[in-house]
Every structure is written in C-alpha cells, then in structure tokens.
A and B are shown apart, each in its own frame.
Chain A
Amino acid sequence: MIDPRKEFIAQLRRYQMGSISRRNFLGVTGLGTAMAVMAGAVPGFRPRPSFAGDIGDKVSLTSWPNYHDPANLEKFKELTGAAVELTVFGSNEEMYAKLKAGGTGWDVFVPTNYTIANYVEADLIDPLDVAQVPNFDPASYSDPRMTEPGTVNGKIYALHKDWGTTGFVQNTKNLPDKLTSWKEFWDVTKDKATGRVMVHDYQLTTIGNALKYFGYSFNSIDEKELADAEKLLLEVKPHLFGISSDYQPALRNGDAWMSVAWTGDGKQLHKDIPEIIYVLGKEGGEIWSDFYAVPKEAPNKKGAYALINFLLDPQVNAAELAVHGYPIADKRVIALLPPEVATDPIMYPAAELLSPLEFGAGNVLTNPARAEIMARFKSA
C-alpha cells in the first residue's frame, strides 16, 4: 500500500520542480475535489443555468414542518439556478413576531388566513403584483372562503396555498374506542390515555379546542370562557405526554397515543400506520387556509414571485399535495388528483363535518389574555 502522506509529498516535489501541471497536481492529490466542493458552497462559483430574468442564486421560503415536496424545490433550483432556503416555524405568533422584529431576509412566507390582516395593518406585507404570477387564476378556486382572507381592502396580499382542518389523531391500537368529540378527547386524556397525549405548542388550537370542551367558540376572547379553558388545561397538564407542534415522531414510535393534529399530519400518519385515525370533533374546531405572501422587506422579490408562480403550477402543486396531504382549493389541481385522493375522507371531509368548523379570527393572534393563558399553561 502507498503511504498517502509520502505520495502527497512526492507529488508536491514534482509539482514544485515543474514536472506536472497544476491541474494534474490537484487531481492526483485530491485537492481538486476539495476545491470543487468548496466552490459549490460559495454562491458566486456555482455554475448557473440560463433563465429568463435572473433571480439570483437563492430564494428563502419560510413555512411549516412537512409542508413541501423536496423534489419540487430541487426542480426549482434546476430550472432557475436559485436554491430554495427553507425555514420552518411552529406557530403563527412566532412567525409574526420574527417578521415584526425585522431583518429576517425572508422572500416568501406562508401565513394562515386569520393573520394576514394583521400583517397588512402592521405594514409588513405589500399587495402582490399578480401579473408576475401567471399561474394564479382567480376563476379556478372551488370555494371563495379559502381564498378571501388573502384579499384585504380590495387588494390581493396573499395567494392560496392549501387548506385544512384541526382535529386530533388517535391510535386505535392503544385506544380502541373511537372518539368523536373534543369533550371525549380531553376526558380520555385525563383518564385512560394519561401520559400519552400531546397538544400543539400553539395557543390558537390548544386553547381553541379546550374552549370546544365547553361548547364555546373556538375564537373566544371572553374572560369567563377563557378562564374555564385555562382551568381545563391546567387540570390536563400533568396527564400530557408533551406540548409540541412536532408530534409525528412521538406518535410514530408509540410514545404518544393521541394528539391535536392538522389534516396533513393526520393523512401522513394514517398512510404509514393505518390504526392511527384522524378525527374531527363533532362540536367543531378549526378550518383554515394557508397562503403565500411576500414580506415588504424581502431581499429578492423577483425570486419570490418566481417561486410562488412555480409552486402554483397545477402539476407542481399536485405533487406538493401528494407529499403534504393537505387539500388544495384550486380546481385545476383537483382535476389532476387520482379519484381516491379527491374523495379522501381525511383530506376532503364530508360537508356536515365541515359546517361546524370556524376560521380563526384575526384578533386572536395578538390577544394578550390568550397569549398569557398559553404561557401560564406551559410554565405550570
């Protein structure tokens, strides 16, 4: 065997004496590979395919966990030369706080319906120039409720990404009796499922679904109703397995048997572990719609529009849906779905299950009482 160090020194000597070329030296010693790797890491050195309208070499996308098809983002890079830098968040409050503090460097972000008016009011987003998003077609949406929150004061600030519901997942292997309501969810948590239940680290859904126990509105900011919800949450706290918006790992490895959950997580879990079912509480709960928006301070607006336009392409969007499992209201996308997906009971639930659901209200995002209850619940 050749000693690599000796071999390197020998090559170095030959290079110094001029008997081999620089390129040969780099190749033989492996330094060439190292340099290619380094060059790849430095944006300016990256080879860039030609693209109509240069959008730079990166576009940042701020979104939610398990929410995009990595292959799509890779494809965007191939098409435009711009790499997508993905950051994920756990709650709208946090997203709002970060953008409000400024200096985020975000190009595209994914706010939820009820927060958009707040962003407009705080002057954090601009109306979109929809001419730069040719894939956006206002006539193609099946349900105006899913797209309306993107329009504030008659101007379009955000474009529909997908929608969903907030219910709960239940592992029927551990809890064979199928639950149907939020009342049962919280009661079982305190009883048979003690130590095995998770709730979101997110005040809207955690407090909202505790409010549903009493039959109050998901959006309540009434003092007495919130006090009831807080009492329930503090009672339940010792019985919880954890408080986290990233609940899939614990459900997958069997640590948790139930969790407050969003449609797509329910779909992803049910697909891999059929005994985990997704339930919409019969009292109601949340229905929501997520949007693409561009921060006022976005450093790469051109890239932002290119990325949104790419993701709204029906083919690309259908591929996104196959990964994240959230329904999309764009009829062009629905037409591309296999029939079993378009009629999937988790993704496209029956109308009677949807009718008691509520959209989150804008004032809930910044309500101090709800924020403080959540913080007290977590630090209890």
Chain B
Amino acid sequence: MTTAALKEKRRQGRWNALLLAPSGLWYLMLLILPLIVILVYSVGERAPTGGYQAGFTFDNYLNIGARWTAFKNTLLLAPTGTLICLLAGYPLAYFLAVKANPRTRLFLLILVVVPFWTSFLIRTYAWMFILGGRGLPHLLELIGIEGVRFINTPFAVLVGIVYAYLPLMVFPIFVSLEKLDKRLLEASDDLGASPFATFRQITLPLSAPGMITGCMLVFILLMGEYLIPQMLGGGKVFFIGNALVDLFLQSLNWPFGSACAMALVFIMMVTVGLYLKATRATGGRDVSLM
C-alpha cells in the first residue's frame, strides 16, 4: 500500500471515529453505565430506611420468585398482545400496501398515525370510561346481557395493548409488503398457482422480516409496559413494570428492584437472540428496524 493510500485510510478512520463519537458516548453514558449501576445495586442490600447500601449477596435474585405473578402476567399478556397485533395488523398492512388505491394510500397511512397526535394518557383514560360500568357494559345491559365486567381485567389490558401498539406492527409489515416485487406475483399466477398458494409461498415469506420486526418492536416495549396495566388493570393485573415502580418508589427496595430489572433484561436478551436467529433463517439482510 502506498503512503498516500495509507494516509487516506487513516484520515477516514479519524472521520469515522469522530462521527461515531456522539452515539458511542450516548450508549456509554445512557446504556452501559446505568446497566453497570443496576448490576452493582442488584447484589447490594436495602438500607434500613430504604434505598441502597453496599453489600454482596444473591438474595435479591433468589427472591425473584416473590414477584412470580408479575412475571407470569407479563410473559402471558405480552406475547398474546403481540400475536393479536400481528393478526389484526397484517391484513391492514396488506390492504394498505397492496390493495389500496395509491392516491389514497398516503391519506390512509396518515389515519393510522393520527391517534398519536393526542396524548397517550388521555387516550387510555378514554378507554377507562369506555370499558367502565357506564360504557360498554351499560350498552350490553340495554340488549339484555347483564353483569359483564371489562375494566380491571386482563381483557381490558389486552384491549389497551392492541389499541396502543397496532401502528407499531402495521408499519414494518407495510414497508416489507410495499417493497415486494409484484412481478413475482404475476409469475406465480402465470405458472398456475392459486392466489392462496401465491400468498403462502411468496407474499408471506417475503414479508416475514417485516412481521418479525413488528413483533419485536411490540413485544420488547410490552415487556416494559407500565401505564396500561396500571390504568386499565386497576392494580389487579400487574406487570413487571408495575412491580419495578413499586419496588423503587413504594418499598424503597432498590437492590431487589435492580435484580428484577436485570431478570427482565435477561429475558429480553434471550428474546432478541431468538430474533436474530429467526431473521438469519429468513435471509437476514432484508430485516431492519425500519
């Protein structure tokens, strides 16, 4: 290699380092360091008046079973919510990307985003009233179905979850379906495949990256969900997020809270590991988080 080329390469290296510095610093300060703090806290002890005091014990981890219900609720409702979002979001994304008139498509896409213009808190409050005694149950009473209870049940939490997270599922699937080469569909048709066979063998596999991305986006955020179970579950449907808030703010048991948080991080890492494996199986490079 000539000296000039070497110099050029070094210069580029410096540029790269400079351009990466802000994001690198960001991750160091706001991800790596806090994680280390949580790890250190998780093996510490609760100070007598609450908070953290130095120590080295695994008791906090051994005690995680005391929050089993919270983990169980989260691990049950987060995947269920993700699945319903997928089943409801796919047809919508398919319609938007394939069937919708290209001239109205942008308008329809905007409609999907419009709810985000109102505060999420206000929209969840609205659901409290829709699902509360004066809302849907009252309407059901009018047609003779009595004694139905929605609010403060897992069902109410699921409704809130699907309502809030559906757009996050629709967009990645929409993008992958929109990129789909329509000539493949024509070729399949020409070769005598039924519409269903075409969908199953071409559209579905090619939109898999979008589906996986959507599922990951929804699932990871759901695992940390706090507000929806708090407001629509009324303290009766408890997520890990709620348990964490309680441990830090009510019980002032920061070490135990840190241990639960680490357990959550661990579950996430396993999930993301499975995700990477699944994407490699479907031809990884097409997958992107939008």
Answer yes or no: A242 CB below 8 A from chain B CBs: yes
Tell whether, in the assembled complex, residue B253 and residue A372 are in contact, meaning their CB atoms are under 8 Å apart: yes
Tell whether, in the assembled complex, residue B246 and residue A378 are in contact, meaning their CB atoms are under 8 Å apart: yes
Return chain A residues, CB-CB under 8 Å to B247.
375
The size class of the interface chain A forms with chain B is 20 to 34
Answer yes or no: A366 CB below 8 A from chain B CBs: yes
* C-alpha gap A250/B232 in the complex (Å): 12
Interface hit among A94-102, A282-290, A341-349: A94-102
Tell whether, in the assembled complex, residue A371 and residue B48 are in contact, meaning their CB atoms are under 8 Å apart: no
- The distance from the CB of B113 to the nearest CB of chain A, in whole angstroms, is 23
Return chain B residues, CB-CB under 8 Å to A376.
66
- The distance from the CB of B141 to the nearest CB of chain A, in whole angstroms, is 11
Tell whether, in the assembled complex, residue A249 and residue B250 are in contact, meaning their CB atoms are under 8 Å apart: no
Give which listed residue, A242, A372, A375, contacts B152 with CB less than 8 A. Answer: A242
Tell whether, in the assembled complex, residue B238 and residue A366 are in contact, meaning their CB atoms are under 8 Å apart: no
**Given A243-B234, A253-B132: A366 and B48 interface contact (C-beta under 8 Å):** yes
Answer yes or no: B93 CB below 8 A from chain A CBs: no
Return chain B residues, CB-CB under 8 Å to A94.
249-250
- The distance from the CB of B129 to the nearest CB of chain A, in whole angstroms, is 8
Residues of chain A from 93 to 146 with CB closer than 8 A to chain B in the complex: 93-94, 96-98, 100, 118, 121-122
Q: Which residue, of A100, A249, A372, has the highest number of chain B Cβ atoms within 10 A?
A: A372
Closest to A368 in B: B46
Tell whether, in the assembled complex, residue B249 and residue A97 are in contact, meaning their CB atoms are under 8 Å apart: yes
Return chain B residues, CB-CB under 8 Å to A253.
129, 132-134
The size class of the interface chain B forms with chain A is 20 to 34
Residues of chain B from 236 to 290 with CB closer than 8 A to chain A in the complex: 236, 238, 242-243, 246-253
Answer yes or no: B86 CB below 8 A from chain A CBs: no
- The distance from the CB of A271 to the nearest CB of chain B, in whole angstroms, is 20
**Given A241-B152, A366-B49, A379-B67: A374 and B251 interface contact (C-beta under 8 Å):** yes
- The distance from the CB of A343 to the nearest CB of chain B, in whole angstroms, is 35
Closest to B231 in A: A244
Return chain A residues, CB-CB under 8 Å to B129.
253
Contact with A along B38-81 (1 / 0, CB 8 A): 00000000101111000000000000001101100000000000
Give which listed residue, B134, B149, B248, contacts A254 with CB less than 8 A. Answer: B134
Residues of chain B from 18 to 48 with CB closer than 8 A to chain A in the complex: 46, 48
Answer yes or no: A263 CB below 8 A from chain B CBs: no
- The distance from the CB of A114 to the nearest CB of chain B, in whole angstroms, is 13
Answer yes or no: B195 CB below 8 A from chain A CBs: no
Residues of chain A from 167 to 184 with CB closer than 8 A to chain B in the complex: none
Tell whether, in the assembled complex, residue B251 and residue A371 are in contact, meaning their CB atoms are under 8 Å apart: yes
* C-alpha gap A165/B61 in the complex (Å): 40
Answer yes or no: A91 CB below 8 A from chain B CBs: yes
Return chain B residues, CB-CB under 8 Å to A96.
50, 252
* C-alpha gap A137/B72 in the complex (Å): 55
**Given A122-B49, A255-B132, A375-B243: A366 and B249 interface contact (C-beta under 8 Å):** no
Answer yes or no: A240 CB below 8 A from chain B CBs: yes
Contact with B along A190-208 (1 / 0, CB 8 A): 0000010000010100000
* C-alpha gap A241/B133 in the complex (Å): 12
Answer yes or no: B173 CB below 8 A from chain A CBs: no
- The distance from the CB of A218 to the nearest CB of chain B, in whole angstroms, is 18
Give which listed residue, B67, B69, B133, B249, contacts A93 with CB less than 8 A. Answer: B249
**Given A97-B252, A255-B132, A371-B252: A241 and B70 interface contact (C-beta under 8 Å):** no
Contact with B along A362-380 (1 / 0, CB 8 A): 0000101001101110111
- The distance from the CB of A244 to the nearest CB of chain B, in whole angstroms, is 6
- The distance from the CB of A197 to the nearest CB of chain B, in whole angstroms, is 12
- The distance from the CB of B86 to the nearest CB of chain A, in whole angstroms, is 28
Closest to A118 in B: B49
Return chain A residues, CB-CB under 8 Å to B238.
378-379
Answer yes or no: B235 CB below 8 A from chain A CBs: yes
* C-alpha gap A249/B152 in the complex (Å): 13
* C-alpha gap A375/B251 in the complex (Å): 7
Return chain A residues, CB-CB under 8 Å to B246.
374-375, 378-379
- The distance from the CB of A175 to the nearest CB of chain B, in whole angstroms, is 16
Return chain A residues, CB-CB under 8 Å to B128.
249
Tell whether, in the assembled complex, residue B132 and residue A366 are in contact, meaning their CB atoms are under 8 Å apart: no
Answer yes or no: B151 CB below 8 A from chain A CBs: yes
Q: State the A residues within 8 Å of B (CB).
A: 91, 93-94, 96-98, 100, 118, 121-122, 195, 201, 203, 240-244, 249-250, 253-255, 366, 368, 371-372, 374-376, 378-380
Chain A to chain B contacts (Cβ below 8 Å), 10 pairs: A91-B250, A93-B249, A94-B250, A122-B49, A203-B250, A240-B236, A241-B236, A253-B133, A366-B48, A378-B235
Contacts A371-B250, A380-B69 known; 18 new A-B pairs at CB < 8 A: A97-B250, A97-B252, A98-B249, A195-B149, A241-B152, A241-B236, A242-B236, A243-B235, A253-B132, A255-B133, A255-B151, A366-B48, A368-B50, A368-B251, A368-B253, A371-B50, A375-B253, A378-B238
Q: State the B residues within 8 Å of A (CB).
A: 46, 48-51, 66-67, 69-70, 128-129, 132-134, 149, 151-152, 234-236, 238, 242-243, 246-253
